[in-house]
Structure 1
Amino acid sequence: MSDLPLRAQMAVALGRTAARMSRLAGRGDGSVIGGKIGLKLDPELLTKLARDRKLVLVSATNGKTTTTRLITSAMTPLGEVATNAFGANMPTGHVSALASAPDARYGVLECDEKYVPMVLRETGANVVALMNLSRDQMDRAAEIWLLAGKWRKALEAAPDSHVIANCDDPLVTWGAATAKNVTWVSAGQHWREDSWSCPECGGPLDREGAAWGCRECSFTRPKPDWILHGERVTAPGGRTFELSGLQLPGRANRSNAVIALAVVSLFGVEPETALPLLGQVTSVAGRYTTVEHEGRRMRLLLSKNPAGWLEAFDVLQPAPGPVALSINAQGPDGRDTSWLWDVDYRILKGRPVWATGERRLDLAARLEAADLEFTVVDDIDKAVMAVPPGHLDIIANYTAFQDIRTRYGRVV
């Protein structure tokens, strides 16, 4: 920290003070306000804090918080790692993360999709991990083809950055294709409704298993260097490793894990070393946490868009296990709830279902259209107490999820 110019040191100090006051006031962990104050005092603070570090940027529509946590865990043999572990994924959060670990040689930063070009330009990150792109908060976010186009331009202008990219997602592949150095990972793509057309020419994409290719131009899936198949990972050179020790549930987290393995291998951390460290991660900012309340064991699942709901359904306890669904539409969620109609809720048939949250009536209309039996309640506690003692899965979007964590326990 002493190597920073005096102005940057003052910006960091005042940012830390603001963050501490935010925590004392119960307004959150202070990452955003601390970084905001720091950048206000020194607009070049992020660049200065990133200097002389080896940085990883992690971006995707879904899974970036979890993958950031997995990569950070697997990199611990290298020493201290600076990271924004709780999802403050814009430059303000990046400043706070780097400032809080001034001596960390390494950094792993979750990055909002829209901010990838800016953050890459300002930090010169060594590695950029790109996993998936799908519709999310369309009332305030750009069309995902535009995002992929911005990735292309940014990566073309960053020849020293190495990209780890999920080649099973055509949009990610197109966004990463201009990078000078790319490691392609077959990490799977379970939600395909946003990638039926070629991003290069607009023609139809033909698919056969994981493979895909444009019918009208030469754009096609690259040959992967890392391959996820079930619970096994094949690394470059043909070595195969089991993911059986992974504690985070579901196919989405196996996808996150293979991306993490590919990233840390660039820093010399081999899968034999990384896999046990991935298995130490059991919860990420409350995701997949189980909390106890009045004899009920509630597992909390975060889902903020159709792709995320598909993955949440994948890890539900077997039917007829009960499910509570909670939807808000505040700023961090996106105000537009029309995406609910893209989720196939028929998979919940045969289960007791409760609908709650600020936009419970929007959710109820969608569930009724899916011909489901459900109960609308105006408070999550009514759903919880309506379930007999035992297990309850709760799926919620962002602010609803945070409200539930605050009420029943913020286990991390």
Structure 2
Amino acid sequence: MTQLPLRAQLATALGRTAATLSRVTGRGDGSVIGGRVGLMLEPDLLRKLAADRKLVLVSATNGKTTTTRLITSALQEVGEVATNAFGANMPAGHVSALSQAKQAPLAVLEVDEKYLPEVLDTTGASVVCLMNLSRDQMDRAAEIWLLAQKWQRALTGTDTHVIANCDDPLVTWGASTATRVTWVSCGQPWKEDSWCCPRCGGPLDRKGDDWACRECSFRRPEPAWVLDDDAVIDPRRQRWVLDLQLPGRANRANAAIALATAETFGLPVERALPRLREVRSVAGRYTTVERDGRSLRLLLAKNPAGWLEAFEVSDAGLPIILSVNAQGPDGRDTSWLWDVDYRILRGRPVYVTGERRLDLALRLHVAEVPFQLCETFDDAVVRQAPGGIDVIANYTAFQQIRAEFGRAV
């Protein structure tokens, strides 16, 4: 690694100190404040820290943190990897992550969809993973068609190797200007945001994961990698059973992207896959924590597509606690709750909490899902008998719950 200029060294050192103080004082995990301090002292710090490294940027509406973790685990087979493991996915978080592993030749960074063009331009990343686009925080991120268009412009004329989910028409359109794309078929269970062609606006004909526009030539590309139920088929048509500890189809899709990415580093499936199988929890997601004889499994769901995934891995035989906030990182607008089909919860004991519990309560009432309204998360827990409980929370509600259990990883 090239030695940083003196100013950048000072900014990095002070940022690490701020991050350490944040952790020691219990204010946070230090994954943002350190980067903010560093960027105040050296605005071009991210570019300097990214130089001479081979970077992977991971962006999507759902699954960024998990896929980042899976790719990182795989690439640790070949060297030290810098990464923003806890989801601080804007430039301050990237600076903090790279500062903490200054000598790592590799870096895997989760990137907020809106910030991807800026971060790609700054870092010159060699690999970008694009997985899915669906409505999320519309008050902050705007229409997802606009995001896909920004991705498209950012990739035009770059040498970046793109790993992209060809089953999502918006992702395919966003990746279409890249000079080199590895297409992965890993599904698109949530289709409500992509019934129209992003190129011409015409209707899309969809059959399974395949799709094509009726009015122009835009259609699903032929994938090199295919998620096939519980396995991945590689470009040589060899089938690899995934056998992950992480639950659900969404995580198998994340693993397919991770394996395709690992191969761009010369890491074959037989070496990458065992490392993916070791991952059990990601920044608290899927963790089971204990309280007074109760076992609570923590699931994160931030938008309609995420709730669909959470319901898929949820245990229909258990009571469930739902917690929703609407702080800045969540998006202030909770109208997205009306896009989620909560009828799947009928017949389960449902407990509702969080700052916007009344919004969620109204939505459940209209869906004819019986529930109990709880003032606090603790109140919801103590109403349960000993045994298993599922917990689904959106971003800041999830972080508050996770903090109660010592930021379980």
The one-letter code of the counterpart of 2:82 is: A
Alignment partner, residue 303 of structure 1: 301
Residue of structure 2 equivalent to 1:279 = 277
Report the Cα offset of residue 402 of structure 1.
1.1
User: Secondary structure of the equivalent of 2:32?
Assistant: helix
Alignment of 1:57-72 (within 5 A): 57-72=57-72
**C-alpha separation in 1, matches of 2:10 and 2:289:** 41
User: Paired residue for 2:204?
Assistant: 205
Alpha-carbon offset, residue 27 of structure 1? 1.3
Deviation at 1:409, TM superposition (A): 4.0
* CA apart distance, 1:25: 2.3
> 1:2 Cα deviation (Å)?
6.9
Q: Does 1:141 align with 2:141?
A: yes
SS at match of 1:198: coil
Q: Does 1:380 align with 2:387?
A: no
Instruction: Please list every run of at least 4 consecutive aligned residues from structure 1 whose deviation after the TM superposition is greater than 6 angstroms.
Output: none
Q: What is the aligned partner in structure 1 of residue 324 from structure 2? A: 327
Moved more, 178-187 or 91-100: 91-100
SS of residue paired to 1:58: strand
Shift of 1:405: 1.3
1:180, distance to aligned residue in structure 2 (A): 0.1
Q: Take 1:320 and 1:32, find their aligned partners in 2: how far apart are those partners?
A: 39
Residue of structure 2 in register with 1:89 after alignment? 89
Q: Which amino acid aligns with 2:32?
A: V
Q: Secondary structure at the match of 2:219?
A: coil
Paired position in structure 2 for 1:104: 104
AA of the residue aligned to 2:62: N
- Out of 386, 391, 394, the position equivalent to 2:391 is 394
Residues of 2 paired with 1:387 and 1:19: CA distance?
Answer: 38
Partner SS state of residue 401, structure 1: helix
Partners of 1:396 and 1:252 in 2: CA distance: 17
Amino acid at match of 1:346: R
Match of 1:124 in 2: 124
With normalisation by structure 2, the TM-score equals 0.98
Paired letter, 2:79: G
Cα deviation 1:254-313 (Å, max 9, x = unaligned): 000000000001001111111110011100000000001111100000000000000000
Which whole-Å CA distance do the structure 1 matches of 2:179 and 2:91 have between them? 25
Q: Is residue 404 from structure 1 mapped to residue 401 from structure 2 by the alignment? A: yes
Where structure 2 has 5 or more consecutive residues not aligned to the other structure, the ranges are: none
1:52 aligns with 2:35: no
1:236 aligns with 2:235: yes
User: What is the CA deviation profile of residues 113-132 of structure 1, one whole-angstrom value per residue up to 9, with x for unaligned ones?
Assistant: 01111111111101000000
1-structure distance, mates of 2:334, 2:81: 37
**Residue in 2 aligned with 1:259?**
257
Deviations 1:49-89 (A, max 9, x none): 11111100000000000000000001111111000000110
User: Equivalents in 2 of 1:190, 1:23: separation in Å?
Assistant: 38
Matched, 1:364 2:364: no
> 1:343-362: CA deviations, max 9, x gaps?
00001111010111111110
Name 1:181's counterpart in structure 2.
180
Letter in 2 for 1:176: A
Alpha-carbon deviations, 1:353-396, whole Å to 9, x = none?
A: 01111111100100011011111111112221222111000000
Query: What secondary structure sits across from 2:380 in the alignment?
Result: helix
Q: TM-score, normalised by structure 1?
A: 0.98
* 1:157 Cα offset (Å): 3.1
Residue in 1 aligned with 2:31?
31
Which stretch of the first structure deviates more once superposed, 376-385 or 197-206? Answer: 376-385
**Residue identity in the other structure for 1:309:** W
Letter in 1 for 2:286: Y
Asked whether the 8 Å contact 1:327–1:396 carries over to 2, the reply is yes
| Displacement after TM superposition at 1:13 (Å) | 1.2
Query: In structure 1, what is the Cα distance between the partners aligned to 2:210 and 2:359?
Result: 37
Partner SS for 1:77: coil
8 Å Cα contact 2:287/2:297 also seen in 1: yes
